Amino acid sequence: MTLWQIISIFLIFGGAFFISVGSIGLIRLPDFYSRCHATGKADTLGLLLVIAGLIVYEGFSLHSAKLLIILIFVGLTSPTATHALARAAFRFGIKPRFKKPATTREKT
Amino acid sequence: MHDFFTFVAVYLTIVIFIPLYRVIAGPRLMDRMLGAGAIGTKTMVIILLIGYMFDRIDMFIDITLAYAVLNFIGVIAIAKYIERIARKR
Protein backbone atom coordinates (compact mmCIF):
# COMPACT_ATOMS: atom_id res chain seq x y z
CA MET A 1 0.00 0.00 0.00
CA THR A 2 1.56 3.23 -1.13
CA LEU A 3 1.41 6.67 0.41
CA TRP A 4 -1.20 7.94 -2.06
CA GLN A 5 -3.57 5.10 -1.20
CA ILE A 6 -3.25 5.92 2.53
CA ILE A 7 -4.05 9.60 1.79
CA SER A 8 -7.08 8.59 -0.30
CA ILE A 9 -8.31 6.26 2.48
CA PHE A 10 -8.14 9.16 4.96
CA LEU A 11 -10.03 11.47 2.57
CA ILE A 12 -12.77 8.91 1.87
CA PHE A 13 -13.20 8.20 5.60
CA GLY A 14 -13.51 11.94 6.24
CA GLY A 15 -16.13 12.22 3.52
CA ALA A 16 -18.14 9.31 4.94
CA PHE A 17 -17.98 10.95 8.38
CA PHE A 18 -19.29 14.29 7.08
CA ILE A 19 -22.05 12.58 5.09
CA SER A 20 -23.15 10.77 8.28
CA VAL A 21 -23.14 14.05 10.23
CA GLY A 22 -25.30 15.71 7.57
CA SER A 23 -27.78 12.82 7.60
CA ILE A 24 -28.09 12.84 11.39
CA GLY A 25 -28.61 16.61 11.33
CA LEU A 26 -31.33 16.15 8.72
CA ILE A 27 -33.50 14.20 11.16
CA ARG A 28 -32.42 15.73 14.48
CA LEU A 29 -32.70 19.47 13.85
CA PRO A 30 -36.08 21.05 14.68
CA ASP A 31 -36.65 23.52 11.83
CA PHE A 32 -36.72 23.51 8.03
CA TYR A 33 -34.03 26.16 7.72
CA SER A 34 -31.69 24.43 10.15
CA ARG A 35 -32.21 21.22 8.15
CA CYS A 36 -31.16 23.19 5.06
CA HIS A 37 -28.03 24.19 6.97
CA ALA A 38 -27.26 20.55 7.77
CA THR A 39 -27.73 19.10 4.31
CA GLY A 40 -26.47 22.07 2.33
CA LYS A 41 -23.00 22.27 3.83
CA ALA A 42 -22.08 19.01 5.58
CA ASP A 43 -23.36 16.76 2.78
CA THR A 44 -21.63 18.79 0.09
CA LEU A 45 -18.35 18.77 2.00
CA GLY A 46 -18.57 15.00 2.43
CA LEU A 47 -19.19 14.45 -1.28
CA LEU A 48 -16.28 16.73 -2.22
CA LEU A 49 -13.96 14.89 0.16
CA VAL A 50 -14.93 11.47 -1.24
CA ILE A 51 -14.39 12.62 -4.85
CA ALA A 52 -11.05 14.21 -3.87
CA GLY A 53 -9.99 10.88 -2.34
CA LEU A 54 -10.94 9.07 -5.56
CA ILE A 55 -8.91 11.61 -7.60
CA VAL A 56 -5.86 10.94 -5.37
CA TYR A 57 -6.37 7.18 -5.77
CA GLU A 58 -6.76 7.43 -9.56
CA GLY A 59 -3.65 9.50 -10.26
CA PHE A 60 -3.16 11.67 -13.33
CA SER A 61 -5.39 10.45 -16.16
CA LEU A 62 -8.56 11.22 -18.13
CA HIS A 63 -10.76 9.70 -15.41
CA SER A 64 -9.35 12.01 -12.76
CA ALA A 65 -10.08 14.98 -15.06
CA LYS A 66 -13.71 13.81 -15.37
CA LEU A 67 -13.85 13.37 -11.58
CA LEU A 68 -12.56 16.95 -11.24
CA ILE A 69 -15.38 18.15 -13.51
CA ILE A 70 -17.90 16.30 -11.30
CA LEU A 71 -16.31 17.87 -8.18
CA ILE A 72 -16.59 21.42 -9.56
CA PHE A 73 -20.15 20.83 -10.79
CA VAL A 74 -21.37 19.40 -7.49
CA GLY A 75 -19.60 22.10 -5.47
CA LEU A 76 -21.46 24.73 -7.50
CA THR A 77 -24.91 23.17 -7.83
CA SER A 78 -25.61 21.46 -4.51
CA PRO A 79 -25.59 24.67 -2.39
CA THR A 80 -27.48 26.42 -5.20
CA ALA A 81 -30.27 23.83 -5.08
CA THR A 82 -30.51 24.09 -1.29
CA HIS A 83 -30.61 27.89 -1.51
CA ALA A 84 -33.38 27.82 -4.13
CA LEU A 85 -35.43 25.45 -1.97
CA ALA A 86 -34.95 27.64 1.12
CA ARG A 87 -35.94 30.79 -0.81
CA ALA A 88 -39.06 29.06 -2.15
CA ALA A 89 -40.00 27.98 1.38
CA PHE A 90 -39.49 31.54 2.66
CA ARG A 91 -41.74 32.98 -0.05
CA PHE A 92 -44.27 30.21 0.63
CA GLY A 93 -44.55 31.60 4.16
CA ILE A 94 -42.76 29.17 6.45
CA LYS A 95 -41.64 30.99 9.57
CA PRO A 96 -38.21 30.30 11.07
CA ARG A 97 -38.17 29.00 14.62
CA PHE A 98 -36.86 31.48 17.16
CA LYS A 99 -35.81 30.99 20.75
CA LYS A 100 -38.35 32.23 23.28
CA PRO A 101 -37.37 35.49 25.02
CA ALA A 102 -35.92 35.24 28.53
CA THR A 103 -38.85 37.01 30.21
CA THR A 104 -41.38 34.33 29.27
CA ARG A 105 -39.01 31.66 30.47
CA GLU A 106 -38.77 33.30 33.90
CA LYS A 107 -42.55 33.38 34.22
CA THR A 108 -42.93 29.65 33.73
CA MET B 1 -8.41 -1.42 -1.78
CA HIS B 2 -11.50 -3.04 -3.33
CA ASP B 3 -12.56 -4.28 0.13
CA PHE B 4 -12.32 -0.75 1.44
CA PHE B 5 -14.52 0.58 -1.36
CA THR B 6 -17.04 -2.20 -0.69
CA PHE B 7 -17.07 -1.34 3.02
CA VAL B 8 -17.70 2.37 2.39
CA ALA B 9 -20.44 1.60 -0.17
CA VAL B 10 -22.28 -0.71 2.28
CA TYR B 11 -21.93 1.87 5.07
CA LEU B 12 -23.42 4.60 2.86
CA THR B 13 -26.26 2.28 1.85
CA ILE B 14 -27.13 1.95 5.55
CA VAL B 15 -26.81 5.74 6.03
CA ILE B 16 -29.36 6.34 3.21
CA PHE B 17 -32.16 5.07 5.49
CA ILE B 18 -31.74 8.15 7.74
CA PRO B 19 -32.88 10.75 5.12
CA LEU B 20 -35.51 8.22 3.97
CA TYR B 21 -37.19 8.73 7.36
CA ARG B 22 -37.32 12.48 6.64
CA VAL B 23 -38.81 11.81 3.19
CA ILE B 24 -41.56 9.60 4.64
CA ALA B 25 -42.38 11.55 7.81
CA GLY B 26 -41.53 15.11 6.73
CA PRO B 27 -44.18 17.60 7.81
CA ARG B 28 -44.20 19.55 4.54
CA LEU B 29 -43.31 19.21 0.86
CA MET B 30 -40.04 21.12 1.29
CA ASP B 31 -38.75 18.75 3.96
CA ARG B 32 -39.44 15.78 1.72
CA MET B 33 -37.64 17.42 -1.22
CA LEU B 34 -34.63 18.18 1.00
CA GLY B 35 -34.44 14.53 2.04
CA ALA B 36 -34.73 13.44 -1.59
CA GLY B 37 -31.81 15.70 -2.52
CA ALA B 38 -29.70 14.24 0.29
CA ILE B 39 -30.51 10.71 -0.95
CA GLY B 40 -29.40 11.73 -4.46
CA THR B 41 -26.08 13.04 -3.11
CA LYS B 42 -25.34 9.75 -1.35
CA THR B 43 -26.38 7.78 -4.44
CA MET B 44 -23.74 9.58 -6.52
CA VAL B 45 -21.02 8.48 -4.10
CA ILE B 46 -22.31 4.90 -4.17
CA ILE B 47 -22.32 4.84 -8.01
CA LEU B 48 -18.70 6.02 -8.09
CA LEU B 49 -17.61 3.38 -5.56
CA ILE B 50 -19.46 0.65 -7.50
CA GLY B 51 -17.53 1.73 -10.59
CA TYR B 52 -14.26 1.18 -8.74
CA MET B 53 -15.49 -2.16 -7.35
CA PHE B 54 -16.30 -3.47 -10.85
CA ASP B 55 -13.23 -1.88 -12.55
CA ARG B 56 -15.54 -0.09 -14.99
CA ILE B 57 -14.95 3.47 -13.82
CA ASP B 58 -14.91 4.79 -17.42
CA MET B 59 -18.60 3.93 -17.75
CA PHE B 60 -19.78 4.82 -14.25
CA ILE B 61 -18.25 8.32 -14.26
CA ASP B 62 -20.59 9.40 -17.06
CA ILE B 63 -23.55 7.90 -15.21
CA THR B 64 -22.55 9.91 -12.13
CA LEU B 65 -22.33 13.14 -14.13
CA ALA B 66 -25.80 12.56 -15.63
CA TYR B 67 -27.18 11.73 -12.18
CA ALA B 68 -25.75 14.97 -10.75
CA VAL B 69 -27.42 17.01 -13.50
CA LEU B 70 -30.76 15.21 -12.99
CA ASN B 71 -30.65 15.71 -9.20
CA PHE B 72 -29.98 19.44 -9.60
CA ILE B 73 -32.70 19.91 -12.23
CA GLY B 74 -35.25 18.04 -10.10
CA VAL B 75 -34.71 20.13 -6.98
CA ILE B 76 -34.70 23.39 -8.99
CA ALA B 77 -37.95 22.40 -10.72
CA ILE B 78 -39.72 21.67 -7.41
CA ALA B 79 -38.43 24.98 -5.98
CA LYS B 80 -39.78 26.92 -8.98
CA TYR B 81 -43.13 25.10 -8.61
CA ILE B 82 -43.40 26.08 -4.94
CA GLU B 83 -42.52 29.69 -5.77
CA ARG B 84 -45.23 29.80 -8.43
CA ILE B 85 -47.80 28.56 -5.91
CA ALA B 86 -46.63 31.22 -3.44
CA ARG B 87 -46.91 33.96 -6.05
CA LYS B 88 -50.47 32.98 -7.02
CA ARG B 89 -51.96 33.32 -3.54
Q: A108: pLDDT confidence band, cut at 50, 70 and 90? A: very low
* CA of A77 vs chain B CAs: smallest distance (Å): 7
The residue of chain A with its CA nearest to that of B49 is A54
The structural domains of chain A, with segments of one domain joined by +, span 3-96
What are the tens digits of pLDDT across the range B7-42? 999 999 999 998 899 889 878 888 888 889 889 999
Q: What is the pLDDT of residue A105?
A: 52
Stretch B59-78: mean pLDDT: 91
Interface predicted TM-score (ipTM) over 0.95:
no
If interface means Cβ-Cβ distance under 8 Å, which residues of chain B face chain A?
1, 4, 8, 11-12, 15, 18-19, 21-22, 28, 30-31, 33-35, 37-38, 41-42, 44-45, 48, 52, 57-58, 61-62, 64-65, 68-69, 71-72, 75-76, 78-80, 82-83, 85-87
pTM exceeding the 0.95 threshold for the entire prediction: no
Q: How far is CA A6 from CA A11, A15, B51, in A?
A: 9, 14, 20
How much is the pLDDT for A102? 55
Q: Helix count (H) and strand count (E) of chain B?
A: 4, 0
Of B8, B19, B37, the CB nearest to A12: B8
Contacts 24+ apart (CB under 8 A), A94-98: A94/A32, A94/B28, A94/B30, A96/A31, A96/A33, A97/A30, A97/A31, A97/A33, A97/A34
